[in-house]
Amino acid sequence: MIGVFDSGMGGLTAIKQIVKMMPHEDIIYFGDTGRVPYGTRSKETIIKYSCQDVRFLLSKGVDAILIACGTVSANAIEILRSEFSVPIFGVVEAAAEKACELTENGKVGIIGTNATVKSGAYVKHIESVRPDIETVSTPCPLFVPLVENGFTDPEDRITYLTAERYLEDIKRFGADALILGCTHYPIIAPVISKVLPGVSLVNTGAEAAKRLFENITPGGGNGKIEYYVSDDINSFKSAASIYLEMPVGDNVFKVDIEKY
Ligand code: DGL
């Protein structure tokens, strides 16, 4: 059984891919909807929250954990790996390597939360595998509340104008590959593509799920997915069913994450 967590809905981008590759795997998903966003918080707070998230997933008996969150992967993965003995996978390496594969002109754009861009984690990994690649990074903090509040329609004007403003530097730089360094961002990928036509987008959640698949032996369960959130279950239920294109039904539960 795999545990997957994010600060909110973003980790569903990984769930979608896991279900495609491992349809029989049982999954416990935790979205910290009561404390989202993580990306505007200090490293100490991100570490504290993510330790609680991992403890909760372990209490459910998971055998491996996927951090389906760029912010936590970029700021807390070493600490989580040293604190907990279960295998823990993040999104940074898989996504950075995919961007190196996709770029033809050697220019990669990176977008993420404030905390992710500040950490420099994607840039460091790209430099370690392909030092010839140039990068430009831009924080896009308003994308997370837009997604969490349902401004996800490809025709949405507010999301388009926000993207146009945030992506100016990356457009000018001429990147031909863009790492959507926060797992919320693939949910508005059609809008991002309108602003940056022809640029290959890297879905971090999906790439991390592929990496997980290469590294674990599927548990052979019944394909049961339970979703846990730290705030209202109804808003999560409707948004998750639309995004995943499958009903999440009565499998959404509320958890008091502060207890962990
Ligand atoms: N989906 C998350 C990430 O990948 C979290 C964004 C946030 O909570 O600010 O960074």
Q: Give pLDDT tens digits for 210-247.
A: 999 999 887 778 999 999 999 999 989 988 888 888 88
Q: What is the DSSP letter of 258?
A: G
User: What pLDDT does 221 receive?
Assistant: 87
Ligand 1 atom showing the smallest separation from residue 9 Cα: 1
**Ligand 1 pocket mutation, candidates 4, 9, 144, criterion most atoms within 8 A of CB:** 144
**Comparing 2-90+207-259 with 92-204, is the CATH topology the same?**
yes
CATH architecture, domain 92-204: 3-Layer(aba) Sandwich (3.40)
> Does residue 117's CB lie within 6 angstroms of at least one atom of ligand 1?
no
Nearest to residue 136, comparing CAs of 110, 154, 162? 110
Residue owning tokens 């509340």: 145
Edge to edge, the sheet with strand 107-112 lists 134-139, 107-112, 177-180, 200-203
CATH placement of domain 2-90+207-259: 3.40.50.1860
The amino acid that residue 142 corresponds to is L
**Domain residue spans of the chain:** 2-90+207-259, 92-204
Q: Give pLDDT tens digits for 5-59.
A: 999 999 999 999 999 999 999 999 999 999 999 999 999 999 999 999 999 999 9
Whole-structure pTM value: 0.94
Task: Establish whether 69 is a catalytic residue.
Answer: yes
> Does residue 69's CB lie within 6 angstroms of at least one atom of ligand 1?
yes
Query: How many Å lie between the centroid of ligand 1 and the Cα of residue 7?
Result: 6
